[in-house]
Chains A and B, each alone.
Chain A
Amino acid sequence: MAAEALGGLALGALLVVPPFLPPYFLEVLISVMLFGYLGAAWNILGGYAGQFSFGHAAYFGIGAYTSTLLFLRFGVTPWLGMLAGGVLAAAFGLGAGYLSFRYGLRGPYFSLVTLAFAEMLRVITVNTKAVGSSLGLVIPNREAAPANFVFAGKLAYYYVILAMVLAAVWITWRVARSKLGYALLAIRENEDAAEASGVDVLGMKLRAMAISSLLTAFGGTFYAQYFAYIDPTITFGPSVSIQGLLQAIVGGAGTVLGPLVGAFVLTPVSELSRAAIRGRAGVDVMLYGLVLILVISFLPKGVMGWVSRWR
């Protein structure tokens, strides 16, 4: 009962407070939401199915580039472009996933191959003039055009990403309570036992991959529209992949709220560290590394795992 009340209060705050926040805090909150969203998307494949992808940047990048290119070259509204990007990313994810799972890649080998796929996409993008190569793509003309996913102030973007986060959390919750959710947990725990118990391991993993890659791609489109600039390193680079998994691991992989909680923990760490040591790039990521080590060592089930011991 207390948990529900707390949750309702938090949700209310997220809905009502932001219009009154100073711009800096609103920006940070948007970052929290975006990272939490990416974490939630990763969580379905990584936390629930136990397949630790180190290359989710592939889907983020496909989403970002697809919607942006459709918009810049053909005037297609990014709202539709987002869907197109999602479908493309899901197709890529299913392809990469099918190859990996069908050939029995598990654990670290799966992680490495996903990393390789993301890197391949990055290298291809860097070397393709038609998509801007390493100069990237700029979305010009920042006049408000909601139909084209361009808003005047940051507040609107905040509500968009909030809606996306809530949707992602809801989807995670529904999956967790479904037959698919149970199957994914079984796969995470013991693939062979799951297979012997009638779980279509390959099929279920692919399902998780499809959902995960689709959602991640939507995040890529949001990023493109919010920041109005993308390039191969930002979108296909390892830092995006790491950001996603970090939120989920720290917050609690395999839990519904874990990624969002993780984002609320990590983003302040990042902001505070950068404020404390100005002018030195990398302080925040350095702390991320430290936090990751500490979480794995002392709180392997993340914050939510630790919280659940008290309930």
Chain B
Amino acid sequence: MTLLDVDCVTKHFGGLTAVSRFSLSVAPGEMVGLIGPNGAGKTTVFHLLSGFHTPTEGDIRFKGVSVVGVKPHAICRRGLARTFQIVQPFMNLSVLDNVMIGAFNRAAEVAAARRRAVDVLDFVGLGARRDVPARELTLPDRKRLEMARALATQPEMLLLDEVMSGLNPTEIDEIIRLIRQIHAQGVSLLIIEHVMRAIMALSQRIVVLHHGEQIAEGRPQVVARDPKVIEAYLGDET
């Protein structure tokens, strides 16, 4: 059974078509990359999957049940979590409190949430900084925090939106390692990324979006050589 089923989804914003007849399936345990030039509609797809936008046409099914019209928090409850392209920490709360908010997705009590949050923080490498206010974190740490908070919700599938942006090569390697560890824990992943080596290294399969439409899909090496894909990236560099 597929975990995520995006069925011919279209999204109009007034006169603008952001996403057009987009389909995608993700099986449990897969790590899929979503790439495309700027403005291709990738983040819009994430907004649609996580419930922040509603498709104009088409259906989205998670674990076999439609999530169209379902509120974002309810989708998170069902096991689909996401990060944001521009990180959105709870600035005035501590690192631990930030992650506890995510942990409450499953935990009913403070103590249980705290335990889960501590575990997740150790897992992502922020354990030592748990009492630091989020506003005092560096960007790489904020990215880890964002991922930790999403992981604390105990998702079956995680949507990562450009977690590498703004990071230097060493930091990128660390995040690649972390994502692999997350995957090893059984979490399925759909990753938007511009850093090519990261997406090539991580993805089992890549989907390419351009002007809201899917123009290619397949193994990383195959997609990288696809003339349509090259055209899309080069064509947009004029």
Contacts and interface: CB of A to CB of B under 8 A. Distances in A.
- Which one of A178, A186, A202 has the greatest number of beta carbons of chain B within 10 Å? A186
A189 B73 contact: no
Contacts of A185: 90, 93, 97, 101
Nearest to B109: A179
Given A182-B97, A193-B90, A195-B72, 17 more contacts: A177-B110, A182-B101, A183-B101, A185-B90, A185-B101, A186-B90, A186-B93, A190-B88, A190-B91, A192-B84, A193-B89, A194-B101, A195-B71, A196-B150, A197-B81, A198-B81, A201-B73
A200 interface: yes
A2 to B, nearest CB: 21
Contacts of B104: 179, 182-183, 198-199
Contact of B153 (A178, A179, A182, A197): A197
B105 interface: yes
A192 B146 CA distance: 13
Interface of B: 50, 52, 71-74, 76-77, 81-82, 84, 88-93, 97, 100-102, 104-105, 107-110, 113, 149-150, 153
A202 B74 CA distance: 12
Interface string A197-231: 11111100000000000000000000000000000
Interface of A: 177-179, 182-183, 185-186, 189-190, 192-202
A202 B101 CA distance: 16
A182 B100 contact: yes
Contact of A179 (B72, B89, B108): B108
Contacts of B81: 196-198
A177 B76 CA distance: 23
A197 B93 contact: no
A195 B102 CA distance: 10
A178 B107 CA distance: 12
A194 B77 CA distance: 12
A196 B105 contact: no
A182 B110 CA distance: 9
Nearest to B104: A179
A179 B90 contact: no
A197 B101 contact: yes
A239 B110 CA distance: 38
Interface of A is mostly: helix
A182 B77 CA distance: 17
Nearest to A189: B90
Contacts of B101: 182-183, 185-186, 194, 197, 199
Interchain residue pairs A-B with the least CB separation, the first 10: A198-B105, A189-B90, A198-B76, A193-B88, A195-B72, A186-B101, A197-B102, A200-B73, A195-B73, A198-B153
Contacts of A194: 73, 90, 101
Chain B CB within 10 Å, residue with most, of A192, A194, A196: A196
Contacts of B71: 195, 200, 202
Contacts of A202: 71
B187 to A, nearest CB: 15
Given A182-B113, A186-B101, A196 B108 contact: no
11 contacts: A182-B97, A182-B104, A182-B113, A193-B84, A193-B88, A194-B90, A195-B72, A195-B73, A196-B82, A198-B104, A198-B153
A198 B80 CA distance: 10
Contact of B105 (A177, A190, A193, A197): A197
Contacts of B113: 179, 182
Nearest to A180: B104
Nearest to A178: B110
Nearest to B82: A196
A193 B98 CA distance: 10
Contacts of B50: 196
Contact of B93 (A189, A192, A199): A189
A253 to B, nearest CB: 12
A196 B92 contact: no
B121 to A, nearest CB: 15
A184 to B, nearest CB: 10
B75 to A, nearest CB: 9
B110 A179 contact: yes
A268 to B, nearest CB: 30
A66 B236 CA distance: 67
Nearest to A201: B73
A178 B153 CA distance: 17
A101 to B, nearest CB: 12
B93 A198 contact: no
A193 B142 CA distance: 13
A200 B73 CA distance: 6
A291 to B, nearest CB: 23
